Structure formats: structure tokens, C-alpha cells
A and B are shown apart, each in its own frame.
Chain A
Amino acid sequence: DGGITQSPKYLFRKEGQNVTLSCEQNLNHDAMYWYRQDPGQGLRLIYYSQIVNDFQKGDIAEGYSVSREKKESFPLTVTSAQKNPTAFYLCASSIIGTKSGANVLTFGAGSRLTVL
């Protein structure tokens, strides 16, 4: 079945360490996204990418980095510059343009990062 796989599901990090969250999709979607979820705040967009080798900052990109070397993959690195990285991170993908199903996000199951 097609879908989005995020790993690891749980991750613990010491302060000052960078960590990378994996996101892989086999839906053949063009666009991929990273959202951060904190209790009582909904989801906030970190980065998004429309096409391989191109990505743009979302609303809260500071302290994060991404790459898009393959259509299927969009890993997120939480750097030591992120002041409050403990959160639930959700990866999503979508078709873009005017095709049926465009603009509808499909989400992965999420990765919970805890900084010790």
C-alpha cells in the first residue's frame, strides 16, 4: 500500500546534538512538507518542497534544515540551534497543480523527539 513512512517513531537527544528525522513516501507525490505539533498549538509548517533539489522555508524554519535529493525522500535535521526541539514532527505529501487530489495532504504517523 502507498503511504508515508517516518522514522524513528521516538527519538531522544541530548542538548547540543543534531538529529535527523526520516520521511519516505511511495505515493509519487511531487510536494512534501514538515510540520511541527505542540500541545494546544495545532501544526506549524517548518519546510516544504515542490520538486527535487528545491525547498522553501515555512513559518518556523529557524533551527531546522532539509534536503530533497530524491522525489521520495525529505529528511529533516533538527540542529542544535533549535531552542526548543521537543515536539511531535509530522511529514506530509501532496499532489500539486490542478490534478484531482491536489492540495490534499497525506500524513505520516509522526516522530516524537524529546530533548533530555
Chain B
Amino acid sequence: AQSVTQPDIHITVSEGASLELRCNYSYGATPYLFWYVQSPGQGLQLLLKYFSGDTLVQGIKGFEAEFKRSQSSFNLRKPSVHWSDAAEYFCAVDRRADSWGKLQFGAGTQVVVTP
């Protein structure tokens, strides 16, 4: 079955430390890949996306993600976390073959930032 997996449900990180959130997908072809962030009770905001080309993509708020075709992964990273980065993060894929904008989402990773 086609799926998007975020293995970590919850991550706690100290302010100033680095952060990496994992995302794996299982699709036959390379889909479009996205990371979104959601603050409590709010909608989702796009952090970054990968469609093609350079496999290391830069996003907003100092985030970056690397697409690795061999591992079917699209992990999100930030070198130094700020308290305002506490939120829920969702990886998503656009299956492309029969869809546009109909995203398949992972279950999300809740990030807690400690002082």
C-alpha cells in the first residue's frame, strides 16, 4: 500500500540544539514532497517542497530537507532550534500519477522545545 511514514510521534529537543524529523514514503515513482508545520489550533503552513532538481531544499524559518531516492526519504532538519519551533510537523506527498494537490499526509511529529 502507498503510504507516508513519520516514525517519531514525539520529539523533545533543547533550544539551540539541532533537530531532524524523519519521513519515508512508499510510492512507485518519485512524488512531489512537502513539509508543513502546524501550531496548536491553526492551519498548516508550508515549510518547503521538493519537485525535482537539487535534492537539498531550503525552506522558511531556517529549515532544510534532503530527498534521498535510494532511501525513499525526505528528512527535515534545522541546525539550531528556537522555542518558537515547538509545533507539529507533517510530511506529505503528492502522488502525481492521478492527482495534483491531493496530498497523502504522515501522522505528524510533535516537537517540544525545552529551555
The contact of B43 among A90, A94, A103, by CB within 8 Å, is A90
> Contact: B100 with A96, CB < 8 Å?
yes
B42 in the interface (beta carbon within 8 A): yes
Total residues of chain B contacting the partner, CB 8 A: 24
Stretch at the interface among A14-22, A73-81, A104-112: A104-112
List residues of chain B with CB under 8 Å of any chain A CB: 4, 9, 32, 34, 36, 41-46, 49, 51, 90, 92, 94, 100-103, 105-108
Number of interface residues of A (CB under 8 A): 28
Name the A residues within 8 Å of B42 (CB-CB): 109-110
A40 interface contact, C-beta 8 A: yes
Let me know if B101 and A31 touch, CB within 8 A: yes
Please tell me which one of the listed residues B4, B32, B41, B105 contacts residue A103 in the complex, with CB atoms under 8 A apart: B32
Q: Give the nearest-CB partner of B103 in chain A.
A: A105
Known contacts A40-B9, A41-B107, A42-B90; decide if A33 and B45 are in contact (CB<8 Å): no
Assess whether B43 is in contact with A108, with CB atoms less than 8 Å apart: yes
Q: Which one, A4, A44, A58, A104, contacts B46 given CB within 8 A?
A: A104
Q: Which residues of A contact B101 (CB under 8 A)?
A: 31, 33, 48, 92, 94, 96, 102-105
